[in-house]
A and B are shown apart, each in its own frame.
Chain A
Amino acid sequence: MIEFSDLISFSGLMGTLGTATIVILAGLGCLMTEHAGMMNIGLDGMMTASAFIAGIVSWLTGSWVYALLAGVGSGLLLGAFYSLMVVRLRSDEFVIGVTLNMFLYALSTFFYRNLPAAANGLHLEVGSKMMVPAIRLGGESGPAVSVSLLVPAALVLVALCQVWLYRTRQGFWLRASGEKPESLQSVGRSPVRMKTLASLLCGAFCGLSGVYLLNNTHGFTEGMSASRGYVAVACVIFGRSNPVLVTLAALFFGLVDTVGTRLQVAGVVNSTLTKTFPYVGTILMMIVLAIRNEIKKKARRSDLPAK
Protein backbone atom coordinates (compact mmCIF):
# COMPACT_ATOMS: atom_id res chain seq x y z
CA MET A 1 0.00 0.00 0.00
CA ILE A 2 1.17 3.49 -0.74
CA GLU A 3 2.33 5.65 2.10
CA PHE A 4 0.77 9.06 1.74
CA SER A 5 3.15 10.56 4.24
CA ASP A 6 5.85 9.59 1.77
CA LEU A 7 4.18 11.75 -0.84
CA ILE A 8 4.17 14.80 1.37
CA SER A 9 7.78 14.13 2.25
CA PHE A 10 10.67 16.05 0.82
CA SER A 11 11.50 13.59 -1.92
CA GLY A 12 7.84 13.32 -2.93
CA LEU A 13 7.54 17.08 -3.25
CA MET A 14 10.75 17.24 -5.23
CA GLY A 15 9.46 14.56 -7.58
CA THR A 16 6.33 16.60 -8.11
CA LEU A 17 8.36 19.71 -8.78
CA GLY A 18 10.62 17.81 -11.15
CA THR A 19 7.74 16.54 -13.28
CA ALA A 20 5.99 19.87 -13.15
CA THR A 21 9.06 21.75 -14.36
CA ILE A 22 8.65 20.34 -17.88
CA VAL A 23 5.12 21.68 -17.98
CA ILE A 24 6.06 24.96 -16.28
CA LEU A 25 8.76 25.76 -18.85
CA ALA A 26 6.59 24.83 -21.82
CA GLY A 27 3.70 26.70 -20.24
CA LEU A 28 5.78 29.87 -19.92
CA GLY A 29 6.41 29.68 -23.65
CA CYS A 30 2.80 29.04 -24.45
CA LEU A 31 1.51 31.89 -22.34
CA MET A 32 3.76 34.35 -24.17
CA THR A 33 2.10 33.52 -27.48
CA GLU A 34 -1.28 33.35 -25.76
CA HIS A 35 -0.81 36.92 -24.49
CA ALA A 36 0.14 37.95 -28.02
CA GLY A 37 -3.13 36.52 -29.29
CA MET A 38 -1.88 33.28 -30.77
CA MET A 39 -2.52 29.79 -29.50
CA ASN A 40 0.52 27.62 -30.00
CA ILE A 41 -0.46 23.96 -30.13
CA GLY A 42 2.98 23.04 -31.47
CA LEU A 43 4.71 22.99 -28.07
CA ASP A 44 4.95 19.24 -28.08
CA GLY A 45 6.87 19.06 -31.33
CA MET A 46 9.11 21.97 -30.36
CA MET A 47 10.01 20.23 -27.10
CA THR A 48 10.75 16.94 -28.82
CA ALA A 49 12.91 18.53 -31.50
CA SER A 50 14.91 20.62 -29.02
CA ALA A 51 15.40 17.60 -26.79
CA PHE A 52 16.67 15.64 -29.78
CA ILE A 53 19.10 18.33 -30.89
CA ALA A 54 20.30 18.90 -27.34
CA GLY A 55 20.79 15.16 -27.00
CA ILE A 56 22.87 14.95 -30.18
CA VAL A 57 25.00 17.92 -29.21
CA SER A 58 25.63 16.65 -25.69
CA TRP A 59 26.56 13.29 -27.13
CA LEU A 60 28.93 14.86 -29.67
CA THR A 61 30.56 17.45 -27.47
CA GLY A 62 30.11 15.89 -24.05
CA SER A 63 29.27 19.24 -22.55
CA TRP A 64 25.98 20.27 -21.03
CA VAL A 65 26.61 23.95 -21.79
CA TYR A 66 26.64 23.29 -25.51
CA ALA A 67 23.62 21.02 -25.17
CA LEU A 68 21.71 23.72 -23.33
CA LEU A 69 22.67 26.32 -25.91
CA ALA A 70 21.77 23.99 -28.77
CA GLY A 71 18.41 23.16 -27.23
CA VAL A 72 17.47 26.78 -26.66
CA GLY A 73 18.91 27.75 -30.05
CA SER A 74 16.86 25.17 -31.90
CA GLY A 75 13.83 26.30 -29.92
CA LEU A 76 14.50 29.87 -31.05
CA LEU A 77 14.75 28.72 -34.67
CA LEU A 78 11.43 26.89 -34.36
CA GLY A 79 9.90 29.97 -32.78
CA ALA A 80 11.17 32.01 -35.71
CA PHE A 81 9.58 29.51 -38.10
CA TYR A 82 6.31 29.68 -36.18
CA SER A 83 6.30 33.47 -36.31
CA LEU A 84 7.13 33.41 -40.02
CA MET A 85 4.16 31.18 -40.71
CA VAL A 86 1.63 32.66 -38.32
CA VAL A 87 2.60 36.31 -37.98
CA ARG A 88 4.11 37.11 -41.37
CA LEU A 89 2.22 34.76 -43.65
CA ARG A 90 -0.97 34.79 -41.57
CA SER A 91 -1.67 31.09 -41.72
CA ASP A 92 -4.02 29.46 -39.28
CA GLU A 93 -2.12 29.06 -36.01
CA PHE A 94 -3.93 25.87 -35.20
CA VAL A 95 -3.03 24.18 -38.49
CA ILE A 96 0.58 25.29 -38.11
CA GLY A 97 0.75 24.05 -34.53
CA VAL A 98 -0.65 20.62 -35.30
CA THR A 99 1.47 20.25 -38.42
CA LEU A 100 4.53 21.41 -36.52
CA ASN A 101 3.95 18.61 -34.01
CA MET A 102 3.60 16.03 -36.76
CA PHE A 103 6.55 17.39 -38.73
CA LEU A 104 8.99 17.62 -35.84
CA TYR A 105 7.98 14.29 -34.36
CA ALA A 106 8.46 12.55 -37.71
CA LEU A 107 11.71 14.36 -38.44
CA SER A 108 13.30 13.62 -35.06
CA THR A 109 12.16 9.99 -35.21
CA PHE A 110 13.56 9.67 -38.72
CA PHE A 111 16.99 11.03 -37.79
CA TYR A 112 16.99 9.18 -34.50
CA ARG A 113 16.44 5.82 -36.17
CA ASN A 114 19.22 6.52 -38.66
CA LEU A 115 21.66 7.56 -36.00
CA PRO A 116 24.79 5.40 -35.86
CA ALA A 117 24.72 5.54 -32.07
CA ALA A 118 21.15 4.40 -31.95
CA ALA A 119 21.81 1.37 -34.15
CA ASN A 120 22.69 -0.72 -31.15
CA GLY A 121 19.82 -0.38 -28.76
CA LEU A 122 17.45 2.40 -29.71
CA HIS A 123 18.34 4.75 -26.93
CA LEU A 124 20.35 7.92 -27.13
CA GLU A 125 21.73 8.04 -23.66
CA VAL A 126 23.10 11.10 -22.01
CA GLY A 127 25.73 10.50 -19.39
CA SER A 128 25.63 12.26 -16.06
CA LYS A 129 28.58 14.47 -16.99
CA MET A 130 26.71 15.78 -20.01
CA MET A 131 23.70 16.80 -17.98
CA VAL A 132 22.93 20.10 -16.44
CA PRO A 133 24.55 19.94 -13.00
CA ALA A 134 22.31 18.99 -10.14
CA ILE A 135 22.31 20.29 -6.63
CA ARG A 136 21.81 18.00 -3.69
CA LEU A 137 19.22 19.00 -1.18
CA GLY A 138 18.39 17.54 2.21
CA GLY A 139 20.54 14.65 3.35
CA GLU A 140 20.83 15.46 7.06
CA SER A 141 17.40 14.42 8.23
CA GLY A 142 16.01 12.58 5.23
CA PRO A 143 17.23 11.05 2.01
CA ALA A 144 19.21 13.38 -0.19
CA VAL A 145 17.53 14.42 -3.41
CA SER A 146 19.46 15.78 -6.34
CA VAL A 147 17.61 18.36 -8.32
CA SER A 148 18.67 19.63 -11.70
CA LEU A 149 19.67 23.28 -11.71
CA LEU A 150 16.98 23.84 -14.29
CA VAL A 151 14.27 23.36 -11.65
CA PRO A 152 15.13 26.43 -9.56
CA ALA A 153 15.94 28.22 -12.80
CA ALA A 154 12.41 27.55 -14.00
CA LEU A 155 10.94 29.02 -10.81
CA VAL A 156 13.11 32.12 -11.19
CA LEU A 157 11.96 32.40 -14.80
CA VAL A 158 8.33 32.26 -13.65
CA ALA A 159 8.93 35.22 -11.34
CA LEU A 160 10.78 37.09 -14.08
CA CYS A 161 7.97 36.49 -16.57
CA GLN A 162 5.37 37.66 -14.05
CA VAL A 163 7.24 40.90 -13.48
CA TRP A 164 8.09 41.39 -17.15
CA LEU A 165 4.55 40.84 -18.35
CA TYR A 166 2.70 42.94 -15.80
CA ARG A 167 5.24 45.50 -14.61
CA THR A 168 7.24 46.59 -17.64
CA ARG A 169 6.46 48.48 -20.80
CA GLN A 170 7.54 45.66 -23.10
CA GLY A 171 5.25 43.26 -21.27
CA PHE A 172 2.40 45.70 -21.60
CA TRP A 173 3.02 46.04 -25.32
CA LEU A 174 3.14 42.29 -25.68
CA ARG A 175 -0.23 41.91 -24.00
CA ALA A 176 -1.64 44.77 -26.06
CA SER A 177 -0.50 43.11 -29.29
CA GLY A 178 -2.84 40.27 -28.48
CA GLU A 179 -5.74 42.12 -26.95
CA LYS A 180 -5.93 45.17 -29.16
CA PRO A 181 -3.29 45.41 -31.89
CA GLU A 182 -4.84 48.66 -33.17
CA SER A 183 -4.18 50.48 -29.92
CA LEU A 184 -0.57 49.35 -29.98
CA GLN A 185 -0.24 50.65 -33.50
CA SER A 186 -1.72 53.98 -32.48
CA VAL A 187 1.11 54.55 -30.00
CA GLY A 188 3.63 53.79 -32.73
CA ARG A 189 4.57 50.25 -31.78
CA SER A 190 4.44 47.39 -34.20
CA PRO A 191 2.15 44.51 -33.14
CA VAL A 192 3.93 42.29 -35.66
CA ARG A 193 7.20 42.86 -33.87
CA MET A 194 5.71 42.05 -30.45
CA LYS A 195 4.08 38.92 -31.82
CA THR A 196 7.37 37.82 -33.33
CA LEU A 197 9.06 38.43 -29.99
CA ALA A 198 6.41 36.32 -28.27
CA SER A 199 6.93 33.45 -30.74
CA LEU A 200 10.69 33.60 -30.24
CA LEU A 201 10.28 33.55 -26.46
CA CYS A 202 7.90 30.64 -26.79
CA GLY A 203 10.45 28.76 -28.85
CA ALA A 204 13.23 29.47 -26.36
CA PHE A 205 11.15 28.27 -23.41
CA CYS A 206 10.12 25.16 -25.31
CA GLY A 207 13.79 24.53 -26.05
CA LEU A 208 14.61 24.84 -22.36
CA SER A 209 11.77 22.51 -21.55
CA GLY A 210 13.11 20.04 -24.09
CA VAL A 211 16.56 20.16 -22.52
CA TYR A 212 15.07 19.52 -19.11
CA LEU A 213 12.99 16.68 -20.54
CA LEU A 214 16.18 15.16 -21.88
CA ASN A 215 17.81 15.50 -18.45
CA ASN A 216 14.80 14.08 -16.67
CA THR A 217 14.66 10.92 -18.76
CA HIS A 218 18.47 10.60 -19.14
CA GLY A 219 18.27 10.33 -22.90
CA PHE A 220 16.14 10.66 -25.98
CA THR A 221 13.40 8.21 -26.83
CA GLU A 222 10.69 8.40 -29.45
CA GLY A 223 7.63 10.27 -28.30
CA MET A 224 9.33 11.25 -25.08
CA SER A 225 7.24 14.37 -24.59
CA ALA A 226 4.15 12.18 -23.98
CA SER A 227 1.80 15.02 -24.97
CA ARG A 228 3.00 17.14 -22.05
CA GLY A 229 3.01 20.04 -24.48
CA TYR A 230 -0.76 19.74 -24.64
CA VAL A 231 -0.96 19.62 -20.87
CA ALA A 232 1.03 22.86 -20.85
CA VAL A 233 -1.54 24.41 -23.18
CA ALA A 234 -4.31 23.25 -20.84
CA CYS A 235 -2.49 24.72 -17.84
CA VAL A 236 -2.05 28.02 -19.66
CA ILE A 237 -5.70 28.21 -20.59
CA PHE A 238 -7.07 27.65 -17.19
CA GLY A 239 -4.30 29.53 -15.45
CA ARG A 240 -5.62 32.41 -17.58
CA SER A 241 -2.10 32.98 -18.99
CA ASN A 242 -0.85 34.24 -15.65
CA PRO A 243 2.64 32.78 -15.03
CA VAL A 244 2.06 32.09 -11.33
CA LEU A 245 -1.35 30.50 -11.84
CA VAL A 246 0.01 28.44 -14.74
CA THR A 247 2.78 27.24 -12.44
CA LEU A 248 0.26 26.19 -9.80
CA ALA A 249 -1.69 24.27 -12.43
CA ALA A 250 1.49 22.59 -13.62
CA LEU A 251 2.35 21.66 -10.04
CA PHE A 252 -1.03 20.04 -9.69
CA PHE A 253 -0.34 18.05 -12.84
CA GLY A 254 3.03 17.03 -11.42
CA LEU A 255 1.40 15.95 -8.15
CA VAL A 256 -1.15 13.73 -9.89
CA ASP A 257 1.59 12.32 -12.09
CA THR A 258 3.72 11.49 -9.04
CA VAL A 259 0.76 9.90 -7.25
CA GLY A 260 0.14 7.81 -10.38
CA THR A 261 3.76 6.69 -10.55
CA ARG A 262 3.78 5.82 -6.85
CA LEU A 263 0.58 3.81 -7.16
CA GLN A 264 2.11 2.02 -10.11
CA VAL A 265 5.30 1.26 -8.21
CA ALA A 266 3.23 0.02 -5.28
CA GLY A 267 1.44 -2.24 -7.73
CA VAL A 268 -2.04 -1.03 -6.83
CA VAL A 269 -3.07 0.02 -10.31
CA ASN A 270 -2.06 -1.17 -13.77
CA SER A 271 0.80 0.84 -15.24
CA THR A 272 -1.03 1.73 -18.45
CA LEU A 273 -4.03 2.94 -16.53
CA THR A 274 -2.02 5.28 -14.32
CA LYS A 275 -0.90 7.15 -17.43
CA THR A 276 -4.41 8.54 -17.77
CA PHE A 277 -4.36 9.96 -14.22
CA PRO A 278 -2.72 13.33 -14.94
CA TYR A 279 -5.01 13.97 -17.89
CA VAL A 280 -8.18 12.99 -16.07
CA GLY A 281 -6.97 14.99 -13.08
CA THR A 282 -6.36 18.07 -15.21
CA ILE A 283 -9.82 17.85 -16.75
CA LEU A 284 -11.49 17.34 -13.37
CA MET A 285 -9.61 20.29 -11.94
CA MET A 286 -10.77 22.45 -14.85
CA ILE A 287 -14.38 21.43 -14.22
CA VAL A 288 -14.18 22.08 -10.49
CA LEU A 289 -12.58 25.51 -10.92
CA ALA A 290 -15.05 26.49 -13.64
CA ILE A 291 -18.02 25.47 -11.52
CA ARG A 292 -16.64 27.47 -8.61
CA ASN A 293 -16.25 30.51 -10.82
CA GLU A 294 -19.79 30.06 -12.08
CA ILE A 295 -21.14 29.92 -8.55
CA LYS A 296 -19.20 33.04 -7.62
CA LYS A 297 -20.55 34.85 -10.67
CA LYS A 298 -24.09 33.85 -9.81
CA ALA A 299 -23.63 35.01 -6.22
CA ARG A 300 -22.40 38.36 -7.48
CA ARG A 301 -25.32 38.65 -9.86
CA SER A 302 -27.86 37.91 -7.13
CA ASP A 303 -26.16 40.53 -4.96
CA LEU A 304 -26.67 43.27 -7.52
CA PRO A 305 -30.44 43.90 -7.30
CA ALA A 306 -30.26 44.00 -3.52
CA LYS A 307 -27.98 47.02 -3.59
Chain B
Amino acid sequence: MWLLVLVCVAASVLAGMLYALIPALMKVRLDISEVVTTILLNTVATTFCAYMANGPLQAPGRGSQTAPILKDLQFERFFRPSNLSTAVFIVAGMTLLVWYLMSRHVTGYEMRMTGQNSRFARFSGLKDKKLAVGGMLVSGAICGAVGMLEIFGWKYSYAETLSTDFYWDGMLVAMIMGYKPLGIVLMSFFFGILKAGAIKIQSSANIPSELIQVIQSIIIFFMAAEQGLIQRFRVWRARRHPQREEAIRA
Protein backbone atom coordinates (compact mmCIF):
# COMPACT_ATOMS: atom_id res chain seq x y z
CA MET B 1 0.00 0.00 0.00
CA TRP B 2 2.81 2.39 0.80
CA LEU B 3 4.17 1.80 -2.65
CA LEU B 4 0.85 2.87 -4.13
CA VAL B 5 0.87 6.07 -2.07
CA LEU B 6 4.37 6.78 -3.26
CA VAL B 7 3.30 6.29 -6.86
CA CYS B 8 0.42 8.73 -6.25
CA VAL B 9 2.83 11.27 -4.77
CA ALA B 10 5.16 10.89 -7.71
CA ALA B 11 2.30 11.26 -10.18
CA SER B 12 0.86 14.36 -8.56
CA VAL B 13 4.28 15.99 -8.20
CA LEU B 14 5.04 15.20 -11.82
CA ALA B 15 1.71 16.62 -12.94
CA GLY B 16 2.36 19.83 -11.03
CA MET B 17 5.84 20.11 -12.48
CA LEU B 18 4.68 19.53 -16.03
CA TYR B 19 1.93 22.10 -15.71
CA ALA B 20 4.38 24.61 -14.28
CA LEU B 21 6.78 23.87 -17.10
CA ILE B 22 4.43 25.42 -19.69
CA PRO B 23 4.51 28.99 -18.31
CA ALA B 24 8.16 28.58 -17.33
CA LEU B 25 9.22 27.71 -20.86
CA MET B 26 6.98 30.41 -22.30
CA LYS B 27 8.65 32.93 -20.01
CA VAL B 28 12.22 31.84 -20.64
CA ARG B 29 12.06 30.99 -24.32
CA LEU B 30 9.46 33.41 -25.63
CA ASP B 31 9.48 36.14 -22.98
CA ILE B 32 5.72 35.95 -22.37
CA SER B 33 4.69 37.32 -18.99
CA GLU B 34 4.23 34.45 -16.56
CA VAL B 35 1.60 36.43 -14.65
CA VAL B 36 -0.88 36.21 -17.49
CA THR B 37 -0.12 32.69 -18.64
CA THR B 38 -0.43 31.21 -15.16
CA ILE B 39 -3.75 32.94 -14.52
CA LEU B 40 -5.13 31.70 -17.83
CA LEU B 41 -3.79 28.21 -17.21
CA ASN B 42 -5.50 28.25 -13.81
CA THR B 43 -8.87 28.65 -15.49
CA VAL B 44 -8.02 25.99 -18.05
CA ALA B 45 -7.00 23.44 -15.42
CA THR B 46 -9.92 24.07 -13.05
CA THR B 47 -12.44 23.93 -15.89
CA PHE B 48 -10.88 20.81 -17.34
CA CYS B 49 -10.89 19.06 -13.94
CA ALA B 50 -14.51 20.11 -13.41
CA TYR B 51 -15.26 18.49 -16.76
CA MET B 52 -13.46 15.32 -15.73
CA ALA B 53 -15.31 15.19 -12.40
CA ASN B 54 -18.59 15.76 -14.21
CA GLY B 55 -17.93 13.52 -17.16
CA PRO B 56 -15.54 10.62 -17.68
CA LEU B 57 -14.44 10.22 -14.07
CA GLN B 58 -17.77 10.88 -12.41
CA ALA B 59 -18.82 8.20 -9.96
CA PRO B 60 -22.41 7.12 -10.45
CA GLY B 61 -24.78 8.59 -7.90
CA ARG B 62 -22.31 11.01 -6.37
CA GLY B 63 -23.15 14.24 -8.16
CA SER B 64 -20.13 15.90 -9.71
CA GLN B 65 -17.58 13.89 -7.81
CA THR B 66 -15.12 11.14 -8.51
CA ALA B 67 -15.26 7.86 -6.64
CA PRO B 68 -13.60 8.06 -3.20
CA ILE B 69 -10.07 6.75 -2.87
CA LEU B 70 -9.35 3.47 -1.11
CA LYS B 71 -9.62 3.50 2.68
CA ASP B 72 -6.07 2.19 3.10
CA LEU B 73 -4.63 5.09 1.16
CA GLN B 74 -6.22 7.80 3.28
CA PHE B 75 -4.05 9.58 5.77
CA GLU B 76 -4.75 8.78 9.40
CA ARG B 77 -6.73 11.38 11.33
CA PHE B 78 -5.73 12.39 14.86
CA PHE B 79 -8.93 13.55 16.51
CA ARG B 80 -12.15 12.52 14.91
CA PRO B 81 -14.10 15.78 14.59
CA SER B 82 -11.05 17.63 13.32
CA ASN B 83 -9.88 17.02 9.79
CA LEU B 84 -6.23 17.26 10.84
CA SER B 85 -4.42 14.23 9.50
CA THR B 86 -0.90 12.87 9.38
CA ALA B 87 -0.50 14.86 6.18
CA VAL B 88 0.51 17.73 8.44
CA PHE B 89 3.92 16.08 8.97
CA ILE B 90 4.54 16.05 5.25
CA VAL B 91 3.62 19.73 5.08
CA ALA B 92 5.98 20.50 7.98
CA GLY B 93 8.72 18.58 6.21
CA MET B 94 8.15 20.47 2.96
CA THR B 95 8.21 23.80 4.81
CA LEU B 96 11.53 22.96 6.45
CA LEU B 97 12.92 21.83 3.12
CA VAL B 98 11.88 25.05 1.40
CA TRP B 99 13.22 27.11 4.30
CA TYR B 100 16.55 25.29 4.08
CA LEU B 101 16.71 25.65 0.32
CA MET B 102 15.82 29.33 0.25
CA SER B 103 17.66 30.68 3.29
CA ARG B 104 20.47 28.23 3.99
CA HIS B 105 21.51 26.87 0.63
CA VAL B 106 23.49 28.40 -2.22
CA THR B 107 20.75 27.64 -4.74
CA GLY B 108 18.23 29.65 -2.73
CA TYR B 109 20.62 32.59 -2.61
CA GLU B 110 21.17 32.37 -6.34
CA MET B 111 17.43 32.22 -6.93
CA ARG B 112 16.78 35.30 -4.81
CA MET B 113 19.57 37.15 -6.56
CA THR B 114 18.13 36.26 -9.96
CA GLY B 115 14.71 37.42 -8.85
CA GLN B 116 15.97 40.73 -7.56
CA ASN B 117 18.23 41.56 -10.46
CA SER B 118 18.44 39.02 -13.23
CA ARG B 119 20.94 41.07 -15.24
CA PHE B 120 23.36 41.28 -12.35
CA ALA B 121 22.92 37.56 -11.74
CA ARG B 122 23.64 36.80 -15.39
CA PHE B 123 26.77 38.91 -15.41
CA SER B 124 28.04 37.22 -12.28
CA GLY B 125 27.86 33.93 -14.10
CA LEU B 126 24.61 32.47 -12.85
CA LYS B 127 22.39 30.58 -15.21
CA ASP B 128 19.33 32.77 -14.62
CA LYS B 129 17.07 30.97 -17.08
CA LYS B 130 17.86 27.58 -15.59
CA LEU B 131 17.19 28.95 -12.12
CA ALA B 132 13.88 30.45 -13.21
CA VAL B 133 12.71 27.20 -14.77
CA GLY B 134 13.97 25.28 -11.74
CA GLY B 135 12.06 27.57 -9.39
CA MET B 136 8.89 27.11 -11.39
CA LEU B 137 9.36 23.33 -11.40
CA VAL B 138 9.86 23.19 -7.63
CA SER B 139 6.82 25.39 -7.06
CA GLY B 140 4.78 23.20 -9.41
CA ALA B 141 5.97 20.09 -7.58
CA ILE B 142 4.97 21.53 -4.20
CA CYS B 143 1.57 22.61 -5.49
CA GLY B 144 1.03 19.17 -7.02
CA ALA B 145 1.86 17.54 -3.70
CA VAL B 146 -0.50 19.93 -1.89
CA GLY B 147 -3.30 19.03 -4.26
CA MET B 148 -2.67 15.38 -3.58
CA LEU B 149 -2.67 15.93 0.21
CA GLU B 150 -5.95 17.80 -0.16
CA ILE B 151 -7.53 14.65 -1.58
CA PHE B 152 -5.68 12.00 0.45
CA GLY B 153 -5.73 14.07 3.64
CA TRP B 154 -9.37 14.92 4.16
CA LYS B 155 -11.54 15.14 1.05
CA TYR B 156 -11.00 11.61 -0.25
CA SER B 157 -12.54 12.35 -3.63
CA TYR B 158 -12.24 15.04 -6.26
CA ALA B 159 -15.29 17.28 -6.25
CA GLU B 160 -15.96 19.88 -8.91
CA THR B 161 -13.93 22.56 -7.18
CA LEU B 162 -10.93 21.83 -5.07
CA SER B 163 -8.79 24.86 -4.60
CA THR B 164 -10.68 27.89 -5.80
CA ASP B 165 -9.55 30.23 -3.07
CA PHE B 166 -6.54 28.34 -1.79
CA TYR B 167 -4.22 29.47 -4.52
CA TRP B 168 -5.08 33.14 -4.19
CA ASP B 169 -4.82 32.92 -0.41
CA GLY B 170 -1.48 31.16 -0.63
CA MET B 171 -0.10 33.70 -3.05
CA LEU B 172 -1.31 36.64 -0.97
CA VAL B 173 0.14 35.16 2.22
CA ALA B 174 3.49 34.63 0.52
CA MET B 175 3.56 38.14 -0.91
CA ILE B 176 2.51 39.86 2.28
CA MET B 177 5.05 38.03 4.40
CA GLY B 178 7.79 38.99 1.96
CA TYR B 179 8.38 35.39 0.80
CA LYS B 180 9.77 34.25 4.17
CA PRO B 181 8.85 30.58 4.79
CA LEU B 182 8.41 30.84 8.56
CA GLY B 183 6.38 34.03 8.34
CA ILE B 184 4.20 32.34 5.77
CA VAL B 185 3.51 29.49 8.19
CA LEU B 186 2.39 31.93 10.89
CA MET B 187 0.23 33.94 8.52
CA SER B 188 -1.30 30.77 7.11
CA PHE B 189 -2.33 29.75 10.61
CA PHE B 190 -4.03 33.11 10.99
CA PHE B 191 -5.86 32.70 7.69
CA GLY B 192 -6.70 29.12 8.61
CA ILE B 193 -8.29 30.28 11.87
CA LEU B 194 -10.35 32.84 9.96
CA LYS B 195 -11.48 30.22 7.44
CA ALA B 196 -12.36 27.59 10.00
CA GLY B 197 -14.22 30.24 11.98
CA ALA B 198 -16.08 31.30 8.85
CA ILE B 199 -17.41 27.79 8.28
CA LYS B 200 -18.51 27.47 11.92
CA ILE B 201 -20.15 30.90 11.94
CA GLN B 202 -21.99 30.12 8.74
CA SER B 203 -23.44 26.92 10.11
CA SER B 204 -24.26 28.17 13.59
CA ALA B 205 -25.20 31.83 13.18
CA ASN B 206 -26.19 31.77 9.51
CA ILE B 207 -23.72 34.49 8.61
CA PRO B 208 -22.45 33.97 5.07
CA SER B 209 -18.79 32.99 4.86
CA GLU B 210 -18.26 35.72 2.26
CA LEU B 211 -18.15 38.15 5.16
CA ILE B 212 -14.97 36.50 6.40
CA GLN B 213 -13.47 36.92 2.95
CA VAL B 214 -14.34 40.60 3.15
CA ILE B 215 -12.64 40.90 6.53
CA GLN B 216 -9.65 38.96 5.25
CA SER B 217 -9.28 41.31 2.28
CA ILE B 218 -9.52 44.37 4.52
CA ILE B 219 -6.71 42.95 6.66
CA ILE B 220 -4.62 42.38 3.55
CA PHE B 221 -5.34 45.91 2.31
CA PHE B 222 -4.02 47.35 5.54
CA MET B 223 -1.00 45.06 5.61
CA ALA B 224 -0.13 45.92 2.02
CA ALA B 225 -0.44 49.64 2.71
CA GLU B 226 1.40 49.41 6.04
CA GLN B 227 4.64 51.05 4.92
CA GLY B 228 2.85 53.80 3.05
CA LEU B 229 0.51 54.53 5.94
CA ILE B 230 3.36 54.72 8.45
CA GLN B 231 5.25 57.08 6.20
CA ARG B 232 2.18 59.27 5.69
CA PHE B 233 1.63 59.37 9.43
CA ARG B 234 5.26 60.42 10.05
CA VAL B 235 5.01 63.20 7.51
CA TRP B 236 1.75 64.38 9.01
CA ARG B 237 3.16 64.35 12.54
CA ALA B 238 6.28 66.16 11.48
CA ARG B 239 4.17 68.85 9.88
CA ARG B 240 2.04 69.27 12.97
CA HIS B 241 4.81 69.35 15.52
CA PRO B 242 7.94 70.60 13.80
CA GLN B 243 9.66 71.53 17.05
CA ARG B 244 8.96 68.27 18.77
CA GLU B 245 10.21 66.32 15.78
CA GLU B 246 13.45 68.27 15.88
CA ALA B 247 13.70 67.75 19.61
CA ILE B 248 13.28 64.02 19.16
CA ARG B 249 15.89 63.95 16.47
CA ALA B 250 18.31 66.04 18.53
Contacts and interface: CB of A to CB of B under 8 A. Distances in A.
A118 interface: no
Given A95-B175, A106-B213, A276 B32 contact: no
B224 A95 contact: yes
Contacts of B30: 287, 290-291, 294
A94 B232 contact: no
Contact of B224 (A85, A273, A275, A294): A85
Contacts of A230: 36, 39-40, 43
A297 to B, nearest CB: 10
Given A98-B168, A99-B172, A286 B44 contact: no
Contacts of A270: 51, 54-55
B176 interface: yes
B211 to A, nearest CB: 6
A237 B39 CA distance: 13
B216 interface: yes
A213 to B, nearest CB: 17
Interface extent on B, as a size class?
Answer: 35 or more
Interface in B188-225: 208, 210-211, 213-214, 216-218, 220-221, 224-225
A103 B51 contact: no
Interface string B25-46: 0100011110111011101100
Interface string A97-135: 011111101110110011000000000000000000000
A88 interface: yes
Contacts of A287: 26, 30, 32
Identify the interface centre among B39, B40, B232: most chain A CB within 10 Å of its CB: B40
B183 interface: no
Nearest to B217: A103
A109 B208 CA distance: 9
B36 A237 contact: yes
B50 A272 contact: yes
Interface string B74-95: 0000000000000000000000
A231 interface: yes
A233 interface: yes
Contacts of A90: 227-228
Given A91-B225, A94-B175, A106-B214, A99 B220 contact: yes
A92 interface: yes
Interface string A27-60: 0000000000001010000000000000000000
Contacts of B47: 272-273, 275-276, 279
A85 B216 contact: no
B48 interface: yes
B210 A276 contact: no
A264 interface: no
A234 B225 contact: no
A92 B55 contact: no
Given A103-B218, A280-B44, A85 B39 contact: no
Interface in A185-244: 227, 230-231, 233-234, 237-238
Q: When A and B form their complex, which 6 residue pairs have the shortest distance between CB atoms, in order from nearest?
A: A89-B228, A103-B217, A106-B213, A290-B30, A91-B224, A272-B51
Interface of B: 26, 30-33, 35-37, 39-41, 43-44, 47-48, 50-51, 54-55, 165, 168, 171-172, 175-176, 208, 210-211, 213-214, 216-218, 220-221, 224-225, 227-229, 232
